[in-house]
Structures are given as C-alpha cells and as structure tokens.
Amino acid sequence: MENGWGRRTAAVQAGTMRSGWGETAEAIFLTQGFVYASAAEAEARFAADDPEGFIYARYGNPTVAMFEDRIAALEGAEAGFATASGMAAVTAALMCDLRQGDRVVASRALFGSCLWVLTELLPRFGVQTVLVDGTDLDAWKAALEGGARAVFLETVSNPMLEVIDLAAVARLAHGAGARVIVDNVFATPVFQRALDLGADVVVYSATKHIDGQGRCLGGVVLGARDFVKGPLQGFLKHTGAAMSPFNAWVLLKGLETLDLRVRAQAATAAEIAAALRGHPGLARLIWPGAPDHPQARIVAEQTTGAGTILTLDLRGGKPAAFGFLDALRIVRISNNLGDAKSLATHPATTTHQRIGAAARVHLGIGDGVVRLSVGLEDAADLIADIGRALDSAASP
Ligand SMILES: *Cc1c(COP(=O)(O)O)cnc(C)c1O
C-alpha cells in the first residue's frame, strides 16, 4: 500500500491528484475529452500502452482514476478499472478474456444478473458454464477436473449468506488453470481480503456499501496490472461501460467513510441478530456471525467481520413475509442493500422471482425468506420496528 499506509488512511488519502488550485476535496473533472499541447504530444499519448495523460473519458478520466487508485490501494490490488455499474464490472471481468470453447465453473448461489450472464449470455458465444454448490469442495473438485478458464463465485452469497472456503476453492481452481473472480459485495472490502485469500480478480458493485447512501450506480474490477491494463482495459475501452466522473466523485467520498459505516452497520446487525434469536415467528435467522451459521468456522478464519446483512426465514411463508414487510415503519421495502437506510427485500418475489421456483428450492430461498440490510439508524429503534412487525406478522 502507498507508503505502507493502513487501510483507513488509504481510504481517505490514496489516489488523490490535486490540480494547481490545491483543493482539499477531489475535483470533479466533468470533461469527456482532453486537449494536447502539440500534434506530437497527441501522437505519443495514443502510442503509449499506459499513457501518462488522458485521451478520452471512455478510456479514463482524472476523477475516475482517483477512485480506481484509491480502491485499488484499499483492496491491495495492483490496478483497477471503474465501470458504470456492478454488472458492467462482472460482465467485463468474465468476457474480456473468454472465448468460444472455454469453460467457467461458478457457484450456484449468485446475484440474479450474474447468474443470467453466466447461464444465458456466455453460452450464446460458445462458453460453457458449470454451476456447483459453492460450499461443497468435492463438487468444485469434480467440476474442475475437466479444466476451466475461469472460476466465478460470490461469498458471502445473496440472499442465503452462504460462505465459501475461498482459499480452498482458489487452490483447486489454480490447479485446473482457472482465473478466480470473486464478487465481494456482501463481504465488503472492510471484512474480506479476497486477493490475500487467493482470488485473482475482485469485482464490486460500488452501488452498494461503497456509495452506501443510495445515490449512484458504479462498479470496479480489481486485480494484477497485466490483467487490468491488458484484456480488461481493452474490453472496457472498446465496449464503453465507463464510470461517470460525477459518480466517481460520489464514490470517492463514499470510500472515505466506508470503514466507519460498515463497522457500525455490522455492529447493529449483531445486536439485531441477538435480539431476534428464538423469536417464535422465525423458522431461521441467518447471520454469518452467529455461532450456528453452517460455515461458522470459515467465517471466523476468512473474514474479520460478519457483515451488514441478515436473512430471516419467517414461519407462515409468503403471507407472513408480506405481513412483516408491510408492517415495518423504519425499515423500508427495497431491493438495494448496503445503504445507510435499513432496507428489506422479499427475494422470492423480487430479486429471485425470475430464476423460477425450482431454482429457488435448490438455493433454499423459501417464500418466508426476507433479506434485511442493516443501516445506520439506532439499533434500539430497528429492534423495536422489526420485533413489532414480526409480532404482527405472526398473529395478523
Ligand atoms: C448489486 C449486485 C451486483 C450488481 O451491481 P449493480 O451495481 O446493481 O449493477 C452484483 N453482485 C452483487 C452481489 C450485488 O449485490
């Protein structure tokens, strides 16, 4: 990390490029293009693989570069490329280096759009995707026996909060010659160091905790310089899912408070988990920090915090879940997560509606499942709101 800085220092200071005015906060360079002092300078910049200056905002922009450099420092990555959304980051990380005949092995428990890219889009171009139960190392081993170009996984997973043994899967994947791409959104950069655990590439939807205040979309792909400045940059420069400089500025400011927000949200999530445990309206409460989490040992070894999301499985199925959601007053119904405002989602009818009933059964997403993204409100107010809504759902 820059000058041996700690991560909180990096989150506030890394990547800053001040203009001649010496501004304190980062400037928003709301420009699509750049001018050159001479024709020869333009020629030289176009000839360079990694030019000093900027050429066109689809390739790079000073405010976007500050965001890329700051999150790369925070993540411990050599380089990063920012994108218009998290899905642009996922799609680019996969497609930039895949071609007809390649195989991808992925965990089944994925964000719905990631699943669509892997199982609908890639096969159109002759790329085969094999899905496995991410928590079953034997399944990874069997699937990787046929070789693979890439492995894709999400840990912690959405919405059932499964935790995959990343170091073990990375070892198996590397043995098969695959690049390991990890969607680290739920775990956050604060709690899980995916690159240290063996991932080659980390992707984020910056829309979630990195903004964390419901304002803009964004994404980023992080990894080794030869990957980011090679196939990834080539793909993104020419396909055009560039991040807006304004969004990069919002997300730079988000990075400055990311650590504080995520830790506070996770502490409140722990309080809520403790308060709701044993509630008669709940068949199950899933939180990676709970001692009864199925992968509690991996959570303890692989992460430094259990995250900001809780998943509740209500007795009484969809009527109970809808009754609960409609009775909430502070927590709002929304499909987003990682926000300062607490948000609740019914995955079976929203984010995971279109994967179909059979796939939901496979993933354990029952009709009583509600995903709760814990925000920055007072824990006591959230516990009272959730408790009251659970009581009213249990006895409508
Ligand atoms: C939201 C999300 C994405 C997609 O990000 P967008 O910014 O909405 O495009 C990908 N993966 C996970 C785990 C997410 O939560």
Using the mean position of ligand 1's atoms as its centre, give its distance from the Cα of residue 366 in Å.
Answer: 21
pLDDT digits (tens, 9 = 90+) for 311-325: 999 999 999 999 999
Tell me which residue has its CA closest to atom 2 in ligand 1. 205
pTM score: 0.96
Burial class (CB in 10 A: 0-12, 13-18, 19+), 215: middle
- Written as six digits, the tokens of 262 are 């995520």
Q: How many CB atoms lie within 10 A of CB 145?
A: 11
pLDDT digits (tens, 9 = 90+) for 212-222: 999 999 999 99
In ligand 1, the atom with minimum distance to the C-alpha of 206 is 7
Could you tell me what percent of the chain has a pLDDT over 90?
92
In ligand 1, the atom with minimum distance to the C-alpha of 88 is 9
For ligand 1, residues with CB inside 6 Å are 85-87, 90, 111, 113-114, 154, 158, 183, 185-186, 205, 207-208, 217, 219
Q: Is the pLDDT of residue 2 over 60?
A: no
In angstroms, how far is the first alpha carbon of the chain from the final one?
Answer: 55
Taking residues 185-211, report their average pLDDT. Answer: 97
Using the mean position of ligand 1's atoms as its centre, give its distance from the Cα of residue 160 in Å.
Answer: 15
**What pLDDT does residue 393 have?**
86
Q: Is the pLDDT of residue 307 over 60?
A: yes
Using the mean position of ligand 1's atoms as its centre, give its distance from the Cα of residue 284 in Å.
Answer: 25
Looking at 3.50.50.100, 3.90.1150.10, 3.40.50.300, 3.20.20.20, the CATH number of the domain 259-394 comes to 3.90.1150.10
**What pLDDT does residue 51 have?**
80
Bond preceding residue 347 cis, omega within 30 of 0: no
pLDDT digits (tens, 9 = 90+) for 344-354: 999 999 989 98
**What pLDDT does residue 148 have?**
98
pLDDT digits (tens, 9 = 90+) for 334-346: 999 999 999 999 9
Q: How many residues does the chain have?
A: 396
**What pLDDT does residue 395 have?**
67
- Provide the b/e sequence for 242-271 (b: ≥16 CB within 10 Å): bbbbebbbbbbbbbbebbebbbbbbebbbb
Q: Where are the domains of the chain?
A: 2-254, 259-394
DSSP 223: E
pLDDT digits (tens, 9 = 90+) for 213-254: 999 999 999 999 999 999 999 999 999 999 999 999 999 999
pLDDT digits (tens, 9 = 90+) for 133-182: 999 999 999 999 989 999 999 999 999 999 999 999 999 999 999 999 99
Using the mean position of ligand 1's atoms as its centre, give its distance from the Cα of residue 87 in Å.
Answer: 6
Pocket test for ligand 1, best of 153, 162, 182, 185 (most atoms within 8 A of CB): 185
Using the mean position of ligand 1's atoms as its centre, give its distance from the Cα of residue 86 in Å.
Answer: 5
Q: Which residues contact 380 (CB under 8 A, 6 or more apart)?
A: none
Taking residues 249-278, report their average pLDDT. Answer: 97
**What pLDDT does residue 117 have?**
97
DSSP 242: B
pLDDT digits (tens, 9 = 90+) for 28-61: 999 999 999 999 999 999 998 778 899 999 999 9
Amino acid, single-letter form, for residue 340: A
Distance CA 299, CA 311 (A): 16
CATH architecture assigned to 2-254: 3-Layer(aba) Sandwich (3.40)
Taking residues 76-91, report their average pLDDT. Answer: 98
Using the mean position of ligand 1's atoms as its centre, give its distance from the Cα of residue 207 in Å.
Answer: 7
Give strand ranges (E) for 63-178.
79-83, 103-107, 128-132, 150-154
